[in-house]
Structure formats: structure tokens, C-alpha cells
Amino acid sequence: MKNKQNLIIHKCSGFFRNKLCLFGISVAVCVVFIDVAVLSFGLDVASVKKKIYMVEAGAQYLEGRELYRDSKDSNLLYELIPNSKAQYQRRHPHDVDRSIIDFSINRLGFRSNSSAEPTAQKPDGVFRIIALGGSNTFGFAVSDSQTWPAQLERVLNEKLPGRFEVWNAGLNAYNMTQKVVYARRLIKEYEPDLLLFQQRNTGRRAFFYKARHQPFFRANKELWCENVPLIWFDSDPAAWFHCLLVRNWALYRLCVSEYNNYLVDSMMTEFVPTQTEPALFEDIFNRYFSPFADRLSSKLFFDFIFECQQTDSLGAAMIVTQIEEQDRFFVADLPLFFLETEVRKDSKPSYYYEIHPPSQVYEWYGEKIADWLIKEGLVPKDKN
């Protein structure tokens, strides 16, 4: 009798175990099927696009011209269009120059400093400086010859013998990850003697407002971590596990992205109604979407600067526009120039602190940065 009962229990447990296994397999197949559907229809990308960070959306160049395009590099995301030109009518209200702003991109894809076209191969006797940064370096509110790299080139050639080139490799909204990737390319192709990193933009990378997002996300999984954060947890183990999942599981990132969109939309009410919609949007996303992107940027920058410090043929320095939240990028033995400190020291007006200041501020930048480079010995004082 007891053996018969055991046999019945064994058969029942085997039956339920088989049913449980079948249920588990069915759930797994459903999840895989849904995951494939999410990937096939691009539903994860469509969800992320609702709150993507875009650049150039409100540029409004005259005659509808464009200066930017998608990049083939999924780390850079966008780039300047070689040989392109555009104009912009709106000057800073304190600018002494009231003329239309002219933008010229040379054949190598850099903001032009002058009518002379640069050559990829560095001419003999030239000390070549390349300035990397965002819209402040690019000079979004001034003409070609008024940007601070153009002013720096002018001042160095006036103060020191020989010949200096200062190339403007600034692009609107570029963060440190993009600048480091770009710097590696510039070193290989253009033989710079000194790289100047201007640091202002933090957080995730922007996309060109006309971008085809799906190829970038499929090619670069780090973009998922930047754009689908785990904003309701603030713990490193949870963030690490989340990044592992969000890189490799389409259904998971779709669910997290939709929940993030809901949270951010609900938090819009926290801000005062006097702020504009773009300001609300940027404030919220800088708060919740920055941590992973900033960790990635700072690591890449640290590794890059360490490599630069191992060679005598290439110098690197950083120009800090605003000190706040930039200390994560301060590397030991890296020369730092604090523009904000100089503004206070010289008792300059408040618009000297702005990200897109008038042209006379950039002229002051050029003088100050040149004096600092000479004082620090970062440029040669005597050239043969």
C-alpha cells in the first residue's frame, strides 16, 4: 500500500514537473519571440527617440542650409560637412559687431580660420594646435575669424616668432567621449603638436536632429546605457547589471525606456512655468541621464591623457569654461586653464560667463589663453 502511494506521488510530481518545465519553455519562447519582434520593428529605438538629445534642431540658418550630417562613426554620431557654408542672423545683444554671422567649413571638415586652406601634412616649421570642444569652441554666435581658436592663432603669431596654426575642431554639443574619439583620428591624420580640450558639455551624446538612429544603436551598444538609464536606482551593482541587460535584451530596454519616459514626463511639473520647454527638458535629462555617460567619458579621457603623457611628441591641456561639475575630468599633471577664474579676476561683465558670448569675449579668450600657453611652456618661444 505504501509503495503504491509513493508511486502515485512520484507520478504526480513528475507530471507537475513536466508541466512546469513546459510552462517555462513556453514563457522563454514567448519572450524570445517578443524580443525578436521588438528588434525587427525597431520598437526599442522608437521608444528612446521620444526623449533623445538632439543637436542643431533649432539652428535656423539662412536659406535653410545645413552644416552638420550623420557620421559614419557610431561613437561620434555626427560631423561637419566639408566645404559647407551658412549664415545666421542673430547676434548676442552685447556684441559690438552687428553683422550677419558667417560659418565656413573647410575641405578637411573644420571651422575655417581664414581664406587659406589647411593641408593635412604639417608644413615645415609650423607648430600645430588643435582645439577640441563644443559650441563654445566652434563659436556658434560669431563668425569664422572671431572664434577663440582663430583669435588664439592670431595672438600667437603676433607675440612669438615662427608660424602657428590653431585648428578649430569644435562641434556643437560634443561631449568628452566624442572629443577623445575625434582626437585619436586627428592625431593619426594631421600631426598636431598640442591638443587643447575645452570642457563644458557633460552627460550623454547628442544626435543630429535628422539622424537615422537605428544604425547607431545597433552598432554601438554603449548608446543604450547612455539613453536608457536605471533612474530609480542609485547603486553601482544595480547599474552594472542594468547595463548588461540593456545592451543585450531588446524587450528589457523597451520596458525600461517607456517607464523612464513616463517618469520624466511626470517630473516636468516640478519646474516653474516661467522656464521654456527646452530648458525643462534639458534640466531633467541632465539630472537623470548623465551618470553612465560621464563615467564613460572620464575613463576614456583619463586613458587618452595617460597615453599622451607617455610621448614627448604630443602635448595636451584643458581649458575649463566653468569649474562646476568638471572636476571629474581633472587628470594629474594635465595643465588646466580656468576661464571662469580669469573672468572674476578681471571683473568682467556677466555675459563673459555665457556659453555663447559675443565676439569681444572671444578676443579676450585668445589673449588670455595665449599668455597662459606661453607661461606654461606649452608652445615654443623660439622656433627655427
* Residues present in the chain in total: 384
The mean per-residue pLDDT over the stretch 12-28 comes to 69
Q: What is the pTM of this model?
A: 0.89
State which residues form the domain around 169.
Answer: 44-53+107-204+217-384
Instruction: Mark whether 322 and 180 lie in a shared domain.
Output: yes
At position 97, the amino acid (one-letter code) is D
Bridge pairing between strands 78-80 and 68-70: antiparallel
For residue 322, give the C-alpha cell: 566653468
* Beta carbons of 52 and 203 less than 8 angstroms apart: no
Q: Is residue 68 part of a domain?
A: no
Is-contact 328 302, C-beta < 8 A? no
The per-residue pLDDT for range 54-84, each reduced to its tens digit, is 898 877 898 889 999 999 999 999 999 999 9
Q: What is the rounded average pLDDT for all residues in the chain?
A: 86
Q: Which three cell numbers stand for residue 175?
A: 561631449
Mean local confidence (pLDDT), 38-54: 91
Question: Is the confidence at residue 235, as pLDDT, over 60?
Answer: yes
Percent of the chain beyond pLDDT 90? Answer: 53
Q: Residue 98 domain-assigned?
A: no
Residues 10 and 130 in one domain: no
pLDDT at 11: 52
pLDDT of residue 77: 97
Residue closest to 229 by CA, chosen among 214, 239, 237: 239
59: in domain:
no
pLDDT the model gives residue 191: 93
pLDDT for residue 170: 97
State whether 237 and 124 are in the same domain.
yes
pLDDT (tens digit, 9 = 90+) per residue, 263-303?
Answer: 877 776 665 444 444 444 555 566 667 778 888 888 899 99
135 shares its domain with 25: no
pLDDT of 32 over the 90 cut: no
Residue 69's φ and ψ, nearest 5 degrees, are -155, 170
Label residue 247 exposed, middle or buried (CB < 10 Å: 0-12, 13-18, 19+).
middle
Mean pLDDT of 33-61: 89
Closest CA to 76 of 164, 151, 162, 183: 183
Cα 352 from chain centroid (whole Å): 23
Whether 60 is covered by a domain: the verdict is no
CATH classification of the domain holding 279: 3.40.50.1110
Q: How far apart are CA 328 and CA 256, in angstroms?
A: 28
Q: Tell me the CA distances in angstroms from 137 to 106, 141, 176, 273, 289, one per residue in order.
A: 16, 10, 13, 32, 24
pLDDT beyond 70 at 379: yes
Asked if residue 133 has pLDDT above 80, the reply is yes
Q: 116 and 10: one domain? A: no
Cell numbers linked to 338: 580656468
Q: Are 191 and 217 in contact (CB under 8 A)?
A: no
Residue 147's pLDDT is 96
- State the average pLDDT over residues 362-379: 95
CA distance 116 to 150: 12
Q: What is the pLDDT of residue 146?
A: 96
222 in the same domain as 146: yes
Same domain, 48 and 32: no
- Dmax (CA) for the chain in angstroms is 108
Whether 83 is in a domain gets the answer no
Q: Are residues 24 and 48 in the same domain?
A: no
89, part of any domain: no
The verdict on 31 and 164 lying in the same domain is: no
Among 42-51, 131-140, 277-286, the least confident range:
277-286
Task: Give yes or no for residue 329 having a pLDDT over 90.
Answer: no
Same domain, 10 and 118: no
If asked whether residues 33 and 174 sit together in one domain, one would say no
How do strand 54-55 and strand 207-208 relate by DSSP bridges? parallel
Within a domain: residue 79? no
19 found inside a domain: yes
**What pLDDT, on a 0 to 100 scale, did the predictor assign at position 293?**
83
Do residues 133 and 276 both lie within one domain?
yes
Whole-number pLDDT of residue 286:
62
Please state the domain count of the chain: 2
- The arithmetic mean of pLDDT across residues 326-336, rounded, is 78
